[in-house]
């Protein structure tokens, strides 16, 4: 009697929540600290609290859950720390959009109210994200759930800042930064997206101050000319030899600026004379600093023009540009305008064109941090999977620039620096000070800025484990084992965790970095709302179940490679689950008696004697060895594919079919479940295969595994497949002979089935065949002949040694296999005639379909008007039909 009966059909919705609650309430996600064993630890990349999880998160969560469940079943103390990220600028922009709908800005409600609203939003999103993790089956330890703005990580952030400051690795300085005029904050280079933009190149004439004539310069940004402090030419440019050293007038400003020579000027761009605007272009700033030129900023923080723009003061950038061009034209100083497309940086959060600006910001001196981080990977202390990203990592780290960590936002970790209005000293402290560290004055005020989100996420592996405190978690679980994330944030995030982890703790934050690819649709297109091809994980789960979604995301997927996801893959996942479900139903029913007679602890599996039992146990052994090796190398997708293939093909399609035949025989002999019964092996192999599959498809495997467990054991002990041991290979069950014999039998059945199909035989039609094999195999193969006959619906007239085989006659066909040869009777003349006629008919139908499609493709109007994908589908269809036609014709030739 099984523990519970298995429903007829697999309904994911019925079992998923039940098992997640069961795991959670039994504390299976919580690790036990065991000083004698080293733990396996993953700290989850914290999703942003800006909305729900998308399918990319589902991939990350599936991969991490597979790793975690696998290592838990290996018996390691396993910890997966969940969490979420406050996502500074991203959340702030959303709150601002909420406000905008009410006709308000953040300045209308003030900082305190704004932060309150952001908290409400964040908490709501956190809860939704947590529930989605439950839905996906994530076996993380919710007792350790952390939010980047929680007290503990906040303390870590301030501590890290203060220490870096005291070491001189954090400084405040005026630098060129990317400024988003809408968000009114500095952005890191990584928060800027460069887009090809159709613009213009304006040719302006700057008159010489002394003498006649002018210099013509080309610019894409006329409005910045108020900030010009020089015109530069290349030192080798013959055209301007006489101009260097003279001065030109900036029209309408009353300012004169020098003409200088600098190597940075590209003589082939525009006229070869470049206006130098130090405050609004990074290259110009470098030129200006080489020549000691003044800096003139022309923008307000919101991107409007400041007083330097004279009459244009207060205008926005675009209006000012138009006004400047008109003015140059009016004065006859506009040479001409050309269309020109160039890259323009945009804020990745709000899409506003970014303004490179000089401002006072906080920076981390990253060079020394990067050196240690490079060394950690070079020495192999951290291994990046796949390996080819290591090179990318090095090249990025070697050219790293100082990291601007201050943001002029309200949502985030406030910079732990207080300014004294009496003596001007800075107080930099972990705990909020009440007085100036320099003069003791109470008139101190905290820096209004917050830290870049990536500063707190850079501390994530150690801040979640309790650093800077000396906690048990920190001592036992740090360094963590694995950092799994998308390859697109290797620099954004992974590199920073390595730098900050080593800097703060003296140890690497993790041993492995596993980079997963991006998800595309079935056509290989990136998923986006605009394209309408987004698959929401919740929708996929509702339609196919979690296990099918996880299967579709991970089977055959290899690290670092993008993968495509669509209904076909999700359906394949569901079909596989159904297959395993039905196989288990069969096993339960077929082993009912055996399971009823066994005692509370199952008797040890008897040594197998039947060839197919020996075969399946040996194949299982091979699978276990292979899967363990693949998992150790993080080839998760291939491991899963092999488990699937074993279950689907070897177990379901062959072993169960062999077992059915044997049981039919013993049943008729009245010896069900007796010695020689496949029952113990059916249960043992399925049990092991389910355990191998569990990390990939946690829900269905738990449901099925539970039904296989002895009833008696369930009374007072709670067991779960997720804490059951991972199957181990048993070398004594390796059986090359059985693999060869059953392998040959399977090949023979396949060959005979093909022969039947080619002759278009109906199930009741008889096929005659002979089997020849080597002397070594023959005796054992003979025992499988009844099974072969039954599975291939073939009458085997003769089984003999290969040496005894005489050449095939005219009416026979020989099929050579690896370990055997099969001779089948050919179709009789009558039969051949019948098949020919059938082939003819099929060919005719195919030809007329093909003609119809070709006619449509020849129609120029159709090809021009129909959407490209419709035309492409018609072309594919035509190609497929042409192939089919060729195949039919070849088959016909073979017959004649």
Q: Which residues of the chain form contacts with Zn ion (CB under 5 A)?
A: 180, 182-183, 347, 349-350, 352, 420, 422-423, 425, 436, 438-439, 441
Task: Output the smallest distance, CB 118 to Zn ion, in A.
Answer: 16
Task: Output the smallest distance, CB 218 to Zn ion, in A.
Answer: 29
**Antiparallel, parallel or unpaired: β 355-364 and 146-147:** unpaired
Q: What gap in Å lies between CA 577 and CA 12, rounded to an integer? A: 10
Task: Output the smallest distance, CB 645 to Zn ion, in A.
Answer: 50
Indicate the residue among 180 and 824 with the shorter CB distance to Zn ion: 180
Indicate the residue among 347 and 746 with the shorter CB distance to Zn ion: 347
Q: Using alpha carbons, list the distances in angstroms from residue 496 to 167, 453, 486, 574.
A: 18, 11, 15, 40
Task: Output the smallest distance, CB 460 to Zn ion, in A.
Answer: 25
Indicate the residue among 29 and 114 with the shorter CB distance to Zn ion: 114
Task: Output the smallest distance, CB 427 to Zn ion, in A.
Answer: 8
Task: Output the smallest distance, CB 438 to Zn ion, in A.
Answer: 4
Contact call for residues 172 and 363 (beta carbons, < 8 A)? yes
Task: Output the smallest distance, CB 437 to Zn ion, in A.
Answer: 8
Task: Output the smallest distance, CB 226 to Zn ion, in A.
Answer: 24
Task: Output the smallest distance, CB 424 to Zn ion, in A.
Answer: 7
Task: Output the smallest distance, CB 421 to Zn ion, in A.
Answer: 8
Q: How much of the chain is in helix, strand and coil states, percent to nearest 5?
A: 50, 20, 30
Indicate the residue among 182 and 205 with the shorter CB distance to Zn ion: 182
Indicate the residue among 51 and 438 with the shorter CB distance to Zn ion: 438
Indicate the residue among 433 and 710 with the shorter CB distance to Zn ion: 433
Indicate the residue among 192 and 358 with the shorter CB distance to Zn ion: 192
Task: Output the smallest distance, CB 240 to Zn ion, in A.
Answer: 39
Taking residue 126's Cβ as centre, other Cβ atoms within 10 Å add up to 18
DSSP string, 451-482: E-HHHHHHTHHHHTTTTTS--HHHHHH-SEEE
Task: Output the smallest distance, CB 433 to Zn ion, in A.
Answer: 11
Contact call for residues 68 and 139 (beta carbons, < 8 A)? yes
Indicate the residue among 412 and 695 with the shorter CB distance to Zn ion: 412
Alpha helices in 728-771 (DSSP H): 736-758
Indicate the residue among 409 and 704 with the shorter CB distance to Zn ion: 409
Indicate the residue among 352 and 471 with the shorter CB distance to Zn ion: 352
DSSP code for 198: E
Contact call for residues 418 and 433 (beta carbons, < 8 A)? yes
Indicate the residue among 180 and 690 with the shorter CB distance to Zn ion: 180
Q: What gap in Å lies between CA 610 and CA 436, rounded to an integer? A: 86
Q: What gap in Å lies between CA 446 and CA 453, rounded to an integer? A: 19
Residue 815 phi, psi dihedral angles, 5° rounding: -120, 120
DSSP code for 46: P
DSSP string, 149-169: TSHHHHHHHHHHHHHHHHTT-
Indicate the residue among 192 and 474 with the shorter CB distance to Zn ion: 192
Contacts 24+ apart (CB under 8 A), 536-543: 536/52, 536/54, 536/55, 537/53, 537/54, 537/55, 537/57, 537/58, 537/132, 537/135, 537/136, 538/52, 538/132, 538/135, 540/55, 540/58, 540/570, 541/12, 541/135, 541/136, 542/13, 543/570
Contact call for residues 477 and 171 (beta carbons, < 8 A)? no
Which helix (H) or strand (E) segment holds residue 218: the answer is strand 214-219
Contact call for residues 881 and 849 (beta carbons, < 8 A)? yes
Task: Output the smallest distance, CB 442 to Zn ion, in A.
Answer: 9
Count of alpha carbons within 13 Å of 773, Cβ hemisphere only?
23
Establish whether the linkage from the previous residue to 479 is cis, with ω within 30° of 0: yes
Contact call for residues 418 and 429 (beta carbons, < 8 A)? yes
Indicate the residue among 439 and 718 with the shorter CB distance to Zn ion: 439
Contact call for residues 843 and 882 (beta carbons, < 8 A)? no
Q: What gap in Å lies between CA 640 and CA 643, rounded to an integer? A: 5
Indicate the residue among 24 and 353 with the shorter CB distance to Zn ion: 353
Q: Using alpha carbons, list the distances in angstroms from residue 116 to 48, 184, 305.
A: 18, 20, 33
Task: Output the smallest distance, CB 115 to Zn ion, in A.
Answer: 19
Alpha-carbon Rg of the chain, whole angstroms?
36
Indicate the residue among 421 and 809 with the shorter CB distance to Zn ion: 421
Task: Output the smallest distance, CB 441 to Zn ion, in A.
Answer: 4
Task: Output the smallest distance, CB 301 to Zn ion, in A.
Answer: 12
Q: What gap in Å lies between CA 7 and CA 553, rounded to an integer? A: 27
Task: Output the smallest distance, CB 187 to Zn ion, in A.
Answer: 7
Q: What gap in Å lies between CA 514 and CA 491, rounded to an integer? A: 14
Indicate the residue among 183 and 722 with the shorter CB distance to Zn ion: 183
Indicate the residue among 23 and 418 with the shorter CB distance to Zn ion: 418
Tell which residue, 690, 529, 465, 506, has the closest CA to residue 54.
529
């Amino acid at each position: 009697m099984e523990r519970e009966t298995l429903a007829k059909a697999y309904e994911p919705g019925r079992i998923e929540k039940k098992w997640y609650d069961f795991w959670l309430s039994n504390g299976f996600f919580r690790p036990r600290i065991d000083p004698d064993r080293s733990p396996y630890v993953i700290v989850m990349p914290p999703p942003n609290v800006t909305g729900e999880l998308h399918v990319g998160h589902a991939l990350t969560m599936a991969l991490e859950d597979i790793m975690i469940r696998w290592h838990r079943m290996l018996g390691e103390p396993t910890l997966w720390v969940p969490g979420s990220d406050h996502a500074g600028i991203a959340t702030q922009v959303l709150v601002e959009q909420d406000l905008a709908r009410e006709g308000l800005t953040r300045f209308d409600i003030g900082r305190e109210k704004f932060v309150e609203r952001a908290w409400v939003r964040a908490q709501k999103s956190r809860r939704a994200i947590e529930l989605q993790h439950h839905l996906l089956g994530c076996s993380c330890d919710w007792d350790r759930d952390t939010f980047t703005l929680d007290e503990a990580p906040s303390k870590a952030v301030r501590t890290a800042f203060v220490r870096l400051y005291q070491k001189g690795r954090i400084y405040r300085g005026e630098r060129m930064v990317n400024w988003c005029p809408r968000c009114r904050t500095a952005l890191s280079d990584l928060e800027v997206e460069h887009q090809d933009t159709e613009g213009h190149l304006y040719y302006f004439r700057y008159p010489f101050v002394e003498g006649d004539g002018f210099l013509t310069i080309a610019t894409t940004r006329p409005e910045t000319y108020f900030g010009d402090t020089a015109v530069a030419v290349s030192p080798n440019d013959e055209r301007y030899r006489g101009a260097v050293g003279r001065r030109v007038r900036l029209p309408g400003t009353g300012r004169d600026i020098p003409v200088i020579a600098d190597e940075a000027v590209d003589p082939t761009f525009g006229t070869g004379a470049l206006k130098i605007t130090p405050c609004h272009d990074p290259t110009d700033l470098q030129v200006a600093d080489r020549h000691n030129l003044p800096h003139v900023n022309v923008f307000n923080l919101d991107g409007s023009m400041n007083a330097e723009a004279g009459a244009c003061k207060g205008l926005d950038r675009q209006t000012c540009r138009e006004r400047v061009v008109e003015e140059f034209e009016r004065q006859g100083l506009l040479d001409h305008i050309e269309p020109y497309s160039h890259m323009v940086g945009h804020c990745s959060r709000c899409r506003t064109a970014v303004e490179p600006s000089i401002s006072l910001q906080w920076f981390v001196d990253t060079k020394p941090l990067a050196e240690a981080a490079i060394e950690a990977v070079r020495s192999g202390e951290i291994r990046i999977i796949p390996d080819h990203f290591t090179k990318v990592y090095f090249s990025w780290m070697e050219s790293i620039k100082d990291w601007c960590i201050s943001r002029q936002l309200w949502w985030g970790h406030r910079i732990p620096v207080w300014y004294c209005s009496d003596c001007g000293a800075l107080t930099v402290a972990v705990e909020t000070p009440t007085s100036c560290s320099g003069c003791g004055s109470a008139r101190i005020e905290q820096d209004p800025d917050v830290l870049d989100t990536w500063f707190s996420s850079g501390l994530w592996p150690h801040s979640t484990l309790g650093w800077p405190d000396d906690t048990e978690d920190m001592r036992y679980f740090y360094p963590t084992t694995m950092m799994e994330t998308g390859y697109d944030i290797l620099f954004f995030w992974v590199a920073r965790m390595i730098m900050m982890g080593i800097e703060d703790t003296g140890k690497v934050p993790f041993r492995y970095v596993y980079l997963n690819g991006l998800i595309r649709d079935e056509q290989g297109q990136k998923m986006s709302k605009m394209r309408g091809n987004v698959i929401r994980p919740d929708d996929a789960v509702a339609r196919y179940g979690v296990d099918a979604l996880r299967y579709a995301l991970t089977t055959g997927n290899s690290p670092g490679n993008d993968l495509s996801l669509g209904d076909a893959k999700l359906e394949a996942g569901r079909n596989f689950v159904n297959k395993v479900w039905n196989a288990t139903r069969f096993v339960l029913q077929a082993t009912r008696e055996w399971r009823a007679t066994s005692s509370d602890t199952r008797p040890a599996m008897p040594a197998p004697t039947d060839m197919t039992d020996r075969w399946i146990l040996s194949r299982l052994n091979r699978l276990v060895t292979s899967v363990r090796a693949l998992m150790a190398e993080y080839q998760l997708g291939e491991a899963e594919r092999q488990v699937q293939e074993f279950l689907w093909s070897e177990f379901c399609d062959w072993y169960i079919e062999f077992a059915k035949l044997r049981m039919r025989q013993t049943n008729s002999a009245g010896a069900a479940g007796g010695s020689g019964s496949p029952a113990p092996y059916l249960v043992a192999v399925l049990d092991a295969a389910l355990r191998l599959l569990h990390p990939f498809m946690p829900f269905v495997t738990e449901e099925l595994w539970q039904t296989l467990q002895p009833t008696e054991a369930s009374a007072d002990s709670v067991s779960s497949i997720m804490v059951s041991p991972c199957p181990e290979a048993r070398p004594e069950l390796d059986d090359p002979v059985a693999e060869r014999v059953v392998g040959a039998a399977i090949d023979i059945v396949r060959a005979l089935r093909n022969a039947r199909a080619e002759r278009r035989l109906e199930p009741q039609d008889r096929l005659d065949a002979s089997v020849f094999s080597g002397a070594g195999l023959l005796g054992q193969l003979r025992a499988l002949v009844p099974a072969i006959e039954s599975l291939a619906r073939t009458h085997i007239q003769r089984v003999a040694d290969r040496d005894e085989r005489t050449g095939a006659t005219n009416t026979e066909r020989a099929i050579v296999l690896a370990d055997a040869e099969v001779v089948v009777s050919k179709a009789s003349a009558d039969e051949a005639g019948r098949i020919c006629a059938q082939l003819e008919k099929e060919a005719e139908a195919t030809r007329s379909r093909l003609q119809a499609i070709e006619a449509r493709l020849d129609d120029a109007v159709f090809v021009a008007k129909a959407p490209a994908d419709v035309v492409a589908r018609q072309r594919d269809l035509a190609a497929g039909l042409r192939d089919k036609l060729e195949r039919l014709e070849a088959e016909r030739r073979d017959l004649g």
